[in-house]
Amino acid sequence: MTSPQPLSNQVALVTGAGRGIGKAISSQLASLGATVVLCARSGSELDVLAHEIASRGGRAVPLVCDVSDQPSIENAKVEVEKAHGRLDVLVNNAGVGSFSGPLHEMTPQDWEKVLNTNLRGVFYCIRAFAPMMIRQGGGHIVNISSLAGKNPLPNGAAYAASKWGLNGLTYSVAEELRGKNIRVSVVCPGSVDTTEGWHQGKSSNKMLQPDQIAHVVAMLVTQAPQSFVSEVLIRPTQKP
């Protein structure tokens, strides 16, 4: 990077920002100079993170919203437009999982929760914020998927379906928007050491860390103008 703060004067929005991967990505983008809009359902977590970022000299704005609820995302769009007038980076990170058993034993309610957050929520966010990027002449959209979107996941079929769908959505939207100078990328990590409890029984010291995912996102949004990394698969060096 040619500048210590390559995202100065840019605005980024991260969903699922309150913890885990989203928290690490938000902190990383703020360290690169972006004003980061922190989105999640828990306002208390966002307030703590905003304070932490400010204590390090960064800029962050907490904004409570639920990606699975379209009116909530539309309200977030209005707030970003009013406060900043632009959005340069959108990171669709919010996600939930259900790994309790085979698909035929899953309730429709649990299915809807996974698909509404992991896939429908990304649609809502892109629908809300891509027009803002088009109007300003460019931007970055980074979707956080999973290696479960590449491989079978027994007892996690709904999660896998949402991530396979997210990958397909990303590839297609990337083609729709590349002519608008908007680069749409997908990041597919393997097992990440978070507090979500999705990887019970695995060795945490062998798992990927949230900061390592944030490093990849930082690379994507600071690419040279003529390059386009459309997909990144991240695996731990040792199987956990």
Tell me the per-residue pLDDT of 99-156, one tens digit each, with 9 for 90 and over: 989 999 999 999 999 999 999 999 999 999 999 999 999 999 999 999 999 999 999 9
CA-based nearest residue to 94, from 172, 163, 191 = 163
Q: Are 12 and 89 spatial neighbours (Cβ–Cβ below 8 Å)?
A: yes
Tell me the per-residue pLDDT of 10-27, one tens digit each, with 9 for 90 and over: 999 999 999 999 999 999
Per-residue pLDDT, 193: 87
Residue 142: strand pairing partners: 91, 185
Average pLDDT along the chain? 94
Per-residue pLDDT, 33: 98
Instruction: Give the residue numbers marked as catalytic.
Output: 159
CA-based nearest residue to 66, from 116, 133, 29 = 116
Tokens matching residue 109:
């309610």
Q: Are 72 and 65 spatial neighbours (Cβ–Cβ below 8 Å)?
A: yes
Contacting residues for 68 by C-beta, under 8 A, at least 6 apart = 113, 116, 117, 120, 121, 124
pLDDT mean over 155-171: 97
Per-residue pLDDT, 130: 98
Cα 40–Cα 134–Cα 139 angle in degrees, nearest 5: 60
Tell me the per-residue pLDDT of 185-240, one tens digit each, with 9 for 90 and over: 999 999 998 855 455 556 778 899 999 999 999 999 999 999 999 999 999 998 87
What is the distance between the alpha carbons of residues 37 and 217, in angstroms, rounded to a whole number? 16
What is the distance between the alpha carbons of residues 21 and 11, in angstroms, rounded to a whole number? 19
Q: Where are the domains of the chain?
A: 11-234
Q: Any idea which architecture 11-234 has in CATH? A: 3-Layer(aba) Sandwich (3.40)
